[in-house]
Structure 1
Amino acid sequence: MTSATTLTAHNLTRLLRTTAPHAAVEGIGLDQIDGVRFDSDGSHLHTIATDRYTVAVARARLQAAGEPSEPFARTVHGHSLPTLRAWADAHRGEAVLTLTAEADHLVLTGPRGTLRIPAGSEEFFDWRKLVHTTLADRPADGPCTRWTSRLWERWQHAGHEITTWHAGDAKPLLVLGADFIGLQAPHRPAREQTRTTAEALDAWKASLGPDTGQRLDLATVVPDPSPREYPTATTVPQMSEELLRQTLNATLGLHGAPSSDPGAIAAYALSGVHAWSAYRLLKALLQADPDLATATVADLTDQLEDGAISEWAWEAATDAGHDPQQWITARAKDQAAKPTTAASP
């Protein structure tokens, strides 16, 4: 068997386009799922990505190239994905690309040259068992309703959290948010029958393999980041009180911190400034729009209880045009150059 895997540039770009948006972001302590997993079983190349909330799996049949290719699994981490996508996009769709797995790299060869990109072989969650569990736990003859995915983005402003109900095939999807209710009709293309979960399992049996009887759940298959303690205020008055308390605690701590510990002084000062700034902004928001202030605090409470605020902060920074990776790199260099006895904020 050969270690080379061959597919078209169109298929490679499709695999990356459909799965990369589901990858966990860098710098949040989830290196296992930071990036896209490339998993070849010799007949299909699969790409898998998850952020703990969603899982995306795409596959492409490999080009016939003489003897079958040897299976492999490698993870291309987030910082390398833009380079890989740019290299793939530079090729015409019908161009034939060859992927070769090395110990810690993927080597891609095509008409526009060769790209050798870092790719780890570290442990990854059992995505086959997870998908098999999800499909097998549904009634085998239950219909799979088709939806038009281009309409899903219309629900993003229905609320931070929405509730959905679906009565069954040919019935509309009911979407319920805060002071919002909506319906979406199923999409049923002409001359195409609705598939069942049994048919879906049959279509993917070459990729998923047989049912082992073991069960996995998305909520537990990927470990959460290290737990942290956050304020538990759930209302505007509680949040205001918590921020004022934090401001006073920080300023009192600042005056009591030993002058020989600059790290502790900086941490107290920064904590107090941020708490007071947040209080003033919350007070202004409450005066300008009480309903928006209440909804914002409720949304913030959910994020704090979830504990994944670094993920939202990373995405918010990226959406605002910043480069959070540069911040992390600069902070690491600063800590290495100036070690302190107390953790800096």
Structure 2
Amino acid sequence: MTSATTLTAHNLARLLQATAPHVAAEGIGLDQIDGVRFDSDGIHLHAIATDRYTVAVARARLQTAGGASEPFARTVHGHSLPTLRAWVDAHRGDAALNLTAEADHLVLTGPRGTLRIPATGTEDFFDWRKLVHTTLADRPADEPCTRWTSRLWERWQHAGREITTWHTGGTKPLLVLGADFIGLQAPNRPATEQAQTTAEALDAWKASLGPDTGQRLDLATVVPDPSPREYPTATTVPQMSEELLRQTLNSTHGLVNAPSSDPGAIAAYALSGVHAWSAYRLLAALMQADPDLATATVADLGEQLEDGAISEWAWEAATDAGHDPQQWITARAQDQAAKPTVASS
């Protein structure tokens, strides 16, 4: 047995590309899933990611010389993934990359040098093999599979925020139902008259999944939700407008009556009032420019507020806009630490 795991740069890049869209955002209190989990069984290197709603598992066969490598499992967290991807992309696709697991790092060695990327292996990462077995448990092994062209799935993203699907199997089309919307998608016809069964389609994954232990996991509960928070749950434009105006007036009234000896309370009231009034003005302008967009946005916002994980979307939005949200958090912590502590009498 060797400690080094070898695969091509192309395969490692493919694993990252396939799983990156499913990584949970940082800053939501779920550190165990805010990255990509690399799980090597000595035959394949698996990459696993989840955002609590979807799970993605991709694998590549190892090219380790001299026999199988030692199994390992390490998670590379979100803030380190861009560095890892850039290092991998700097190599030719056929370049051999060696991976070695250390206690708190994943060490990669290739033609362009060595990269030691922070990685953890002790956190409570969910049992993805057991979860897949749970999904397959109630499906007959001899049931025919249906093949779909995945590039067509994105065409349904405007069918509605929530859609209903129905599929009778085989070569029958997929029925897609949304609000004031109905659609069909035809499956790919199998190359032969007899379609693959579930067992045949999954036969190649037996080595990765291992035997079914009979224990079951539920995707909805396999990763805990972030701590619930209380937010207003207005789902219509009139409700949201009323809530924002109420918040503006409550905040400005609180600002006037806040004790002058409490600068923190004064700042909180002022900030709350300014943001509520700004949101009201922007919502009113959006209603004039595009009422349909305003209605859809408020409904979507209401769902996010009820879910309570708005920090997840805020973190992603800040990152997409080119900001560094981690720097904001660090700066705030430093600012709080620098403030003098007032002893109570």
TM-score (normalizing by structure 1): 0.92
SS at match of 2:191: coil
1: CA distance, partners of 2:146 / 2:162: 22
The answer on whether the counterparts of 1:164 and 1:175 sit within 8 Å (CA) in structure 2 is yes
Structure 1 residues 78 and 340: alpha-carbon distance in aligned structure 2, compared to 1, 3 A threshold = farther
Match status 1:62 vs 2:62: yes
Shift of residue 283 of structure 1? 2.5
The answer on whether the counterparts of 1:136 and 1:197 sit within 8 Å (CA) in structure 2 is no
Shift of residue 250 of structure 1? 1.4
Q: Which residue of 1 aligns with 2:113?
A: 113
Q: Which residue of 1 aligns with 2:28?
A: 28
Match status 1:158 vs 2:122: no
Structure 1 residues 178 and 326: alpha-carbon distance in aligned structure 2, compared to 1, 3 A threshold = farther
Shift of residue 258 of structure 1? 2.4
Shift of residue 189 of structure 1? 5.1
Superposed CA deviations along residues 190-216 of structure 1, whole A, max 9, x for unmatched, are 359533322344322211111111111
Structure 1 residues 332 and 152: alpha-carbon distance in aligned structure 2, compared to 1, 3 A threshold = farther
Q: Which residue of 2 aligns with 1:182?
A: 183
Superposed CA deviations along residues 127-182 of structure 1, whole A, max 9, x for unmatched, are 11011111222232222211111122222222332222222221222222333322
1: CA distance, partners of 2:8 / 2:324: 32
Superposed CA deviations along residues 238-282 of structure 1, whole A, max 9, x for unmatched, are 222222221122112222222222222211111111111222222
The answer on whether the counterparts of 1:159 and 1:178 sit within 8 Å (CA) in structure 2 is yes
Q: How does 1:214-293 map to 2 (within 5 A)?
A: 214-293=215-294
1: CA distance, partners of 2:55 / 2:340: 39
Match status 1:302 vs 2:312: no
Letter in 2 for 1:294: T
1: CA distance, partners of 2:340 / 2:187: 59
Q: How does 1:188-199 map to 2 (within 5 A)?
A: 188=189, 190-191=191-192, 194-199=195-200
Q: Which residue of 2 aligns with 1:51?
A: 51
SS at match of 1:98: strand
Q: Which residue of 2 aligns with 1:19?
A: 19
- The alignment-based identity, stated in percent, is 89
Please, which moves more after superposition, 207-216 or 282-291? 282-291
The answer on whether the counterparts of 2:7 and 2:96 sit within 8 Å (CA) in structure 1 is yes
Structure 1 residues 109 and 294: alpha-carbon distance in aligned structure 2, compared to 1, 3 A threshold = same
Structure 1 residues 340 and 35: alpha-carbon distance in aligned structure 2, compared to 1, 3 A threshold = farther
1: CA distance, partners of 2:250 / 2:55: 42
The answer on whether the counterparts of 2:233 and 2:303 sit within 8 Å (CA) in structure 1 is no
Structure 1 residues 41 and 193: alpha-carbon distance in aligned structure 2, compared to 1, 3 A threshold = farther
2: CA distance, partners of 1:126 / 1:277: 45
Give the aligned length.
341
Q: Which residue of 2 aligns with 1:77?
A: 77
Letter in 1 for 2:255: L
Q: How does 1:322-341 map to 2 (within 5 A)?
A: 322-338=323-339
1: CA distance, partners of 2:195 / 2:333: 53
Structure 1 residues 170 and 269: alpha-carbon distance in aligned structure 2, compared to 1, 3 A threshold = same
2: CA distance, partners of 1:31 / 1:277: 33
Shift of residue 340 of structure 1? 7.6
1: CA distance, partners of 2:192 / 2:88: 35
SS at match of 1:205: helix
Shift of residue 311 of structure 1? 1.9
1: CA distance, partners of 2:41 / 2:281: 57
1: CA distance, partners of 2:235 / 2:290: 18
Letter in 2 for 1:37: R
Q: Which residue of 1 aligns with 2:204?
A: 203
Superposition CA RMSD, Å = 2.0
Structure 1 residues 140 and 285: alpha-carbon distance in aligned structure 2, compared to 1, 3 A threshold = same
Shift of residue 237 of structure 1? 2.2
Please, which moves more after superposition, 190-199 or 155-164? 190-199
1: CA distance, partners of 2:126 / 2:49: 10
Structure 1 residues 185 and 32: alpha-carbon distance in aligned structure 2, compared to 1, 3 A threshold = same
2: CA distance, partners of 1:232 / 1:64: 54
Letter in 1 for 2:62: L
Please, which moves more after superposition, 142-151 or 177-186? 177-186
1: CA distance, partners of 2:307 / 2:39: 30
TM superposition outliers: structure 1 runs of 4+ over 6 Å? none
Q: How does 1:312-327 map to 2 (within 5 A)?
A: 312-327=313-328
SS at match of 2:108: strand
Unaligned segments of structure 2, at least 5 residues:
none
